[in-house]
Chains A and B, each alone.
Chain A
Amino acid sequence: MNVIPLSAYDLSLAALLVGALALVAVRMRLKLAAQLIVAAIRTTVQLLLIGLILKFLFARVNPAYLAFISLVMLTVAGWEIMRRQKRRFSGWWGFCMGSSSMFISSFVITVLALIVIIDNHPWYEPRYAIPLLGMMLGNTMNGIALGLDRLIATTWDQRDVVEARLMIGESWRQAIGDIRRESIRSGLIPIINAMTVAGLVSLPGMMTGQILGGSPPEEAVKYQILIMFLIAAGTGFGTFSAVSMGARRLFDRRQRLRLDRLKPAK
């Protein structure tokens, strides 16, 4: 593999483009210039840092380090799921639902892929494990956040319907069944769309990266197919699990709809 190394000079040329965009934003009074600059700086700092961390980790094939960084990634993803919801469960519930679902789907599927499919030795070699886990977490996070947000928002809007269904003697599962299905569907649609246009409209980022890095395209493509399948499975099972837990939590033991378990909207 021979990658053309990028110098600081190369990157600052690209940065000039962002600077030019910021100038235009100021001229047009978009009130975005500050945000744009901060985001650009954050990207630079965060990515340089993770580059250093990955360099450190790749040099030490140690499951303890891997476990630690995985946990950090999972925690951040869990908070991000909460942050993206307009209304959310109060207390630890919102965080735990998202995180445990991501743990079940992303972690299990990543480990399965490393051991059974890629068959790497040792399976926890960070050069494979961390990028794979990162891609799984990033995508399942989207599905779970979408699904939970939809579940809570729809139930909030249709609370009278849900209660009317309870009143005629439906169980909580029946009363929320339609909303639950619709929420799981909304979490799965992005990955289905991504699989549909992959290669036709978009060249997925991972494959592009591998090709730029010098991998033969036919190998890069196989990895991309693998990733797509893993993401689809992870997103599907993760969303299914999170939405199901969320639906259960919306009702109490006596099968009453308990919207008081949600925090007020931001």
Chain B
Amino acid sequence: MRGLNIAGLEVRHIGPFDLAIAPGECVVLTGPSGTGKSLLLRSVADLVPHRGQVCLNGRNCDQTPPPDWRKTVALLPSESRWWHDRVGEHFHGYDRGQLTRLGLDPSVMDWEVRRLSSGEKQRLALLRLLSNQPAALLLDEPTANLDRENTRKVESLLMDYKTARNAPLLWVSHDAEQSDRIADRRFLLHENRLTPI
């Protein structure tokens, strides 16, 4: 089966959830904070012990080496982390076109991480994630730290990536207008249930 398929996913107190995202489809997940949206994304990326099955294009998570799975089903956390001094040290290569579309200058690679604003960090984290050329994306409020203009840049880049790679997207967002722009389907995570809206 093509796309991202989640079946009977249970993690700690939440679940079980079933969700199938078709290739090139963007599903927006919304709901009050603390209901486990981030936890759900983390378990799809296999970062927390969970029950149930997750498959991408018929390939089961449990049968894929963990680093390969996480490169393929890539999670962008709501807050980015950096561990080297300079930006460029975190990259093994990146797409220059994507960098420009995110409103960044190539010289940013020589910058020290501590000079970056939170918005720049967020966009660079997305660039870092996309440099692995993931086949599916899990996005945890990817535009929460961004102004209007940069939000639009990120949205347009991700929508084009989705179409070009035929990638399923699972996108956590609290912004109703944003959902209108990007969502093919929407779900509310509330009282431990996924309800279509």
Contacts and interface: CB of A to CB of B under 8 A. Distances in A.
Contact of B83 (A169, A178, A252): A178
B71 to A, nearest CB: 3
B15 to A, nearest CB: 17
A250 to B, nearest CB: 14
A165 interface: yes
B75 interface: yes
B47 A169 contact: no
Given A167-B75, A169-B71, A161 B49 contact: no
Interface stretch (B62-70, B150-158, B166-174, B185-193): B62-70
A44 interface: no
B4 interface: no
B22 interface: no
A254 interface: yes
Contact of B47 (A158, A163, A170, A178): A163
Contacts of A50: none
Contacts of A168: 70-71, 74, 128-129, 132
A120 interface: no
Given A168-B70, A168-B129, A169-B132, A254 B46 contact: yes
Contacts of A164: 77, 80-81, 83
Contacts of B79: 160
Contacts of B71: 168-169
Contacts of B70: 166-169
Contacts of B46: 254, 256
A256 B132 contact: no
A254 B81 CA distance: 22
A196 interface: no
B45 interface: yes
B48 interface: yes
For chain A, the bracket of interface size reads 10 to 19
B169 to A, nearest CB: 16
A164 B45 CA distance: 12
A166 B132 CA distance: 13
Given A164-B77, A164-B81, A169 B49 contact: no
Contacts of A170: 67
Interface in B75-116: 75-77, 79-83
Interface in A106-121: none
B67 A167 contact: no
Contacts of A167: 45, 47, 70, 74-77, 129
Contacts of B68: 169
Chain B CB within 10 A, most for which of A164, A167, A252, A258: A167
A255 interface: yes
Nearest to B83: A161
23 contacts: A160-B79, A163-B47, A164-B77, A166-B47, A166-B66, A166-B67, A167-B45, A167-B74, A167-B77, A167-B129, A168-B70, A169-B68, A169-B132, A171-B67, A252-B49, A254-B46, A254-B62, A255-B67, A256-B46, A256-B47, A256-B48, A257-B47, A258-B49
